[in-house]
């Protein structure tokens, strides 16, 4: 006790009823906590860190409160009924949910091979001087404003689809339900393609990082046992990074689900479920953007809130599922899993 300064105010107490002697750990803790600046800093940062989860909770609460009249009125059937009649006050969001999922899946179908191809080419096959320029240009795609994609979709993509893509597609596959009906331009197909182009840079950039993080000795091991470069990629590099690659794909999917502007401009915004990708469709994000400002009546507004809530929940589910997938696949090894 001689080495530590003793506060005179507390000494009498300590004498009359000996307080439990502080453990060495506790003493060290007080010593460490001496610096007021550090303590203040830590408190501030803790508060800032807590703001984010709080924001999320608030957001969810607001959505539920806003959507409450619609939830009470329509209950769960809201998500699987298809009538959307603001005048009659009947709302069912199934077509939007379908459109959101269908356009996003279509986008993944197109974007994943493309983005993985770019990433594999850039890390494994391209000459060194070409890597940075291509990577830069691909990532630049992410910087283009959504509305510009929408314009491009209307003035370039849709005419192109109408003249060169859809006729042969219908000739070959018109008998399937997926390519039936008349093609007017604005369609699930156009929306899916626009989305694909928009999410390629994300998937490609993350995949590239993941593949770069695969240790060189994995490639060498494969090549050393007589694999070609291509076989080395598919037996060693891609499996090693698969958790990270799945993460990259889910990141793209997350963006596709929520993308609004460009999709609204080309998908046709028709509240209808059609299996044919040539037909117009609707997405939740597009519906909110289109109708929110001109919602007629409280119930319509509440229905829009509920659409937002459903979108929110779907993205949460997708992300949770992605985590689960990554966690199951990674089992401690695969690279890139920790970053996601």
Binding site for another protein (CB under 8 A): 128, 215, 217-218, 220-228, 231, 235-236, 239-240, 242, 331-334
Instruction: Indicate the pairing of strand 90-91 with strand 84-85.
Output: antiparallel
Q: Which two tokens stand for residue 38?
A: 């550090």
CB of 235 to another protein, least distance (A): 6
Q: Are 52 and 293 in contact (CB under 8 A)?
A: no
Terminal C-alpha separation, the chain: 50
Name the β-bridge partners of 85: 90
**Minimum gap (Å) between residue 236 Cβ and another protein:** 6
How far from chain centre, in Å, is Cα 193? 17
Residue with smaller CB distance to another protein, 207 or 274: 207
Q: Angle, to 10 degrees, between the axis of helix 242-258 and the axis of helix 94-120?
A: 140
Q: What does the alpha-carbon distance between residue 278 and residue 140 come to, in Å, rounded to a whole number?
A: 29
For residue 224, the minimal CB distance to another protein (Å) is: 4
Q: Closest separation between CB of residue 245 and another protein, Å?
A: 12
Complex with another protein: residue 30 or 333, whichever CB lies closer? 333
Residue 220's contacts (CB-CB under 8 Å, 6 or more residues apart) are none
| Nearest CB to another protein, comparing residues 78 and 240 | 240
Q: Which is nearer to another protein, 84 or 240 (CB)?
A: 240
| Residues 159/253, Cβ–Cβ less than 8 Å | no
Comparing CB distances to another protein, the nearer of 188 and 214 is 214
Q: How far is the CB of 187 from another protein (least distance, A)?
A: 39
CB of 329 to another protein, least distance (A): 8
Shortest gap between Cβ of 319 and another protein (angstroms)? 23
């Amino acid at each position: 006790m001689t080495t530590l300064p003793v506060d005179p105010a507390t000494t009498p107490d300590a004498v009359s009823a000996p307080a439990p002697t502080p453990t060495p750990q506790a003493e060290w803790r007080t010593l460490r906590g001496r610096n007021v600046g550090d303590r203040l800093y830590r408190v501030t940062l803790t508060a800032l860190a807590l703001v984010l989860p709080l924001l999320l909770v608030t957001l969810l609460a607001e959505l539920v409160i806003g959507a409450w009249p619609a939830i009470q009125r329509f209950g769960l059937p809201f998500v699987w009924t298809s009538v959307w009649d603001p005048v009659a006050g009947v709302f069912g969001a199934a077509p939007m949910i379908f459109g959101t999922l269908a356009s996003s899946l279509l986008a993944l179908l197109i974007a994943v091979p493309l983005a993985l191809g770019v990433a594999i080419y850039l890390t494994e096959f391209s000459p060194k001087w070409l890597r940075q320029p291509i990577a830069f240009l691909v990532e630049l795609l992410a910087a283009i404003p959504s509305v510009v994609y929408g314009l491009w979709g209307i003035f370039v993509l849709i005419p192109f689809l109408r003249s060169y893509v859809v006729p042969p597609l219908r000739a070959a596959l018109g008998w399937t339900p997926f390519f039936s009906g008349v093609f007017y331009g604005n369609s699930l197909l156009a929306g899916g393609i626009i989305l694909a182009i928009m999410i390629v840079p994300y998937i490609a950039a993350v995949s590239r990082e993941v593949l770069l993080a695969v240790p060189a000795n994995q490639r060498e091991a494969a090549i050393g046992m007589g694999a070609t470069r291509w076989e080395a990629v598919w037996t060693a590099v891609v499996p090693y990074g698969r958790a990270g690659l799945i993460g990259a794909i889910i990141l793209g999917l997350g963006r596709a689900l929520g993308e609004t502007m460009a999709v609204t401009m080309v998908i046709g915004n028709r509240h209808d479920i059609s299996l044919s990708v040539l037909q117009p469709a609707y997405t939740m994000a597009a519906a909110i953007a289109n109708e929110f400002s001109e919602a007629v009546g409280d119930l319509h507004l509440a229905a829009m809130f509920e659409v937002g809530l459903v979108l929110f929940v779907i993205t949460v589910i997708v992300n949770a599922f992605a985590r689960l997938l990554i966690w199951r696949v990674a089992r401690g090894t695969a690279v890139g899993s920790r970053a996601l």
